[in-house]
Chains A and B, each alone.
Chain A
């Protein structure tokens, strides 16, 4: 028992000093379990390959230049779609947040289109634009739009009314209030919206690439499925998971926290 406790205390001390280690250890354990299950061949090797097979595939795809190309395609599509969705969504959100009339007129429409979801648009998009970039970009923009708008509206509305009133009694015009009070006040929520938008956006990207694609990680996975090669599917999933975890955990969340904390708006 004491050896177990000693191991546990060793683990606890190391991970408090290096939280990165704490995050990594569970995954190492997971990979180890995975390797054991795969080796034991409970499931046929063809259906359940081991971590080494995946690494080998990673190496070969990088060597052939396929993986970097596909990755680049996927990332570029997502970036373009997300940028467009954000550029449309923030102004729209600001407008809806500030104008009660526009809000009551458009909110139900917005909710309804959000409920339809981006995927359901694919069939008609394929008729209109065919199997190409336009279709995929539309889907991503559509997906990113709603979280951005919704969160921006929330942000605008969460600016305390006293701040509006203070600005008015200091001589600010409505336009200046937008720039000096509303946008900075809503910024933490806007960043959250962006983060959520990207989260949904990459999922839409994968779906679009699976159904429509000619390249990209989603296409990689679906093509591998067609060829019956599980290894590449797993590789694709791992890359997606890792990529998003890194981007979200080390880029987006810190930005979100920084904007909130800096203005003492989030007491974390």
Chain B
């Protein structure tokens, strides 16, 4: 099966300060089809970041398995690209070098990887920034580089860990619209983690609500694309969905 399959995933760890075992993720099962955009939403501590870290391979699962395109996952790899809340751009590399990093690791030659990098920079609307350093860019631009960098490696699935939480509200909305545009152009498989209900609905085709480590509900988002905040914010269907998901999150 193409896509991501998670079966009975659990994560328990020992917290030295609490002096006890904590279960962050409890028996979660879900699937994401190829080319689908799924949001994972829930309050802080609901386990969504832990799930992402397990899919990414940064953290081992306590039990259950994660299968991507028929292969079991263990450890990180270029098949699962990650976009971080902290941007995680390499400060000593230029924007171009950052985006070209993945291809470089795969062994692409200089001209080849720069070509790929420029292509994805253009996609993300950053053509002019190629030779700048990350610390010269605004937060919003840095995160676009982060997205371009992850996509340039053409991973099987893109994992996004609250990527827009560190930017201001206006920039966030712009970035969300940019992301949907990029997604419609390339159709990567995406899992998007957020605590913002509206953001989750705006971006995704399906919203998965988590609470206290458990999967609470799955909500389909049949809203048409392209989606734009100016219109969507007044749309009746959006408002109904938003209220419903919010209620689920808060009651969970």
Contact = CB atoms under 8 A, between A and B. Distances in A.
Are A and B part of the same complex? yes
A229 to B, nearest CB: 52
Contacts of A163: 88, 90
Interface stretch (A61-69, A167-175, A199-207): A167-175
Contacts of A160: 86, 88
A262 B78 contact: no
Nearest to A261: B135
Contact of A263 (B88, B102, B135, B149): B135
B105 interface: yes
Nearest to A267: B135
Given A167-B101, A171-B106, A181 B88 contact: no
Given A162-B84, A176-B105, A184-B90, A169 B135 contact: no
A240 to B, nearest CB: 35
Contacts of B58: 165, 168
Contacts of B140: none
A263 B92 contact: yes
A169 B91 contact: no
Contacts of B134: 264
Interface in A152-188: 160, 162-163, 165-173, 176, 180-181, 184-185, 187
Contact of B77 (A166, A171, A180, A264): A171
Nearest to A173: B105
A166 B82 contact: yes
Please classify how large the interface on chain A is, using the bins under 10, 10 to 19, 20 to 34, 35 or more. 20 to 34
B39 interface: no
B91 A170 contact: no
A265 interface: yes
Nearest to B80: A169
A163 B76 CA distance: 13
A163 B91 CA distance: 10
B81 A170 contact: yes
Interface centre among A165, A176, A180 (most CB of B within 10 A): A165
B105 A171 contact: yes
B158 to A, nearest CB: 10
B56 interface: yes
A181 B90 contact: yes
Nearest to A166: B88
A171 B78 contact: yes
B105 A263 contact: no
Contact of A262 (B90, B92, B159): B92
Contacts of A173: 105
B204 to A, nearest CB: 21
Interface in A231-266: 262-265
B81 A264 contact: no
Contacts of B102: 170-171
A164 to B, nearest CB: 9
A233 to B, nearest CB: 46
Interface of B: 56-58, 76-78, 80-82, 84, 86, 88-92, 101-102, 105-106, 133-136, 149-150, 153, 155, 159
9 contacts: A162-B84, A165-B58, A166-B82, A170-B153, A171-B78, A180-B101, A184-B92, A264-B91, A264-B135
Given A168-B58, A172-B105, A263-B135, 10 more contacts: A160-B88, A165-B82, A169-B150, A170-B102, A170-B153, A176-B105, A184-B90, A184-B92, A262-B133, A264-B135
